[in-house]
Structure 1
Amino acid sequence: MKDESLSPEGTYAIRFDVFEVRMSHWVEVPGIFRLADDALLFDLRGEVWSAGPIAWLSDSVVQLSVRRYPGRVSCELVLNLQVGRGVAICGTNRFEGALSALENWVRRQ
């Protein structure tokens, strides 16, 4: 299971709601917070999207893979938390926009 993932300078954190869906199969649903004020910037919690590999490209840009459970839908996300925008690619579908709109778009995939 994933621990909290901090950005390189500790400005942001990805926190996970973790639960077991089958014996020894865990889902790790991400929510991204700005630590200075604990503001929730991007949230897939409440859904069954499990986080895969995470790469902090800078202190405010994160690359994150998520996969819907169960199913075959997966998305690659690049989120710029400082400017509040990102890009999501789910299969052949692509969306670019504000984090709240991107979050809603991913939830509908």
Structure 2
Amino acid sequence: MTQFETQSTSPDGRYRIEAAPWEAGNSHWVYPPRIIDAVSGACLFEFQDQRWSLDRAAWLSDTQVELMLRKYPGQLTGQGLRVRVDCAGRVARCGEGAGVELADLERSLERHACR
């Protein structure tokens, strides 16, 4: 069974950012995040490709969080991608780009990262 660790919790406790870290190389850890609604237990978002890693999560409000993400090994995402997620609205925005449904976030990040 995968062991998830809580990385960050919204100010009101409603949402959690969790990760199941894995060692990609000698002492190099990858933290693929997922977003959980703590009230319902529902997973709002989870990467299919486990090479996406969370560097930082900063809550902007009770429902909005800014994530700094990179994709291991890092050549495509460099310093990282800033993604703002509206947990209540189930939408995200990468940088200054257009908003996307959480279900389309990974696909959108792949396009952005590969430019």
TM over 0.5: yes
Structure 1 position 45, deviation (Å): 5.1
1:52 is matched with 55
Aligned residues of 1:16 and 1:28 also touching (Cα < 8 A): yes
Cα distance in 2 for residues equivalent to 1:47 and 1:19: 9
**Aligned letter for 1:87?**
R
| 1:100 Cα deviation after fit | 1.1
User: Quick one: structure 1 residues 57 and 83, their matched pair in 2 at CA, closer, same or farther if it must change by over 3 Å?
Assistant: same
- Find 1:77's aligned residue among 80, 83, 91: 83
Question: Runs of at least 4 residues of structure 1 off by over 2 A?
Answer: none
Q: Note the C-alpha offset of 1:94.
A: 2.9
Taking only the aligned residue pairs, the percentage that are identical comes to 32
Q: Residue 94 of structure 1 aligns to a residue in which SS?
A: coil
Matching of residues 24-39 of structure 1 within 5 Å: 24-39=27-42
Q: Which residue of 1 aligns with 2:23?
A: 20
Please give the TM-score of this superposition, normalised by the length of structure 1: 0.85
Aligned-partner SS, 2:12 = coil
Q: Which runs of 5+ in 1 are unaligned?
A: none
Cα distance in 2 between the residues matched to 1:30 and 1:45 = 10
Question: Which stretch shows the higher mean deviation, 66-75 or 76-85?
Answer: 66-75
- Aligned-residue CA RMSD in angstroms? 1.9
Give the TM-score normalised by structure 2: 0.81
* Structure-2 residue corresponding to 1:87: 93
Residues matched between the structures, number = 105
Q: CA deviation at 1:103?
A: 3.0
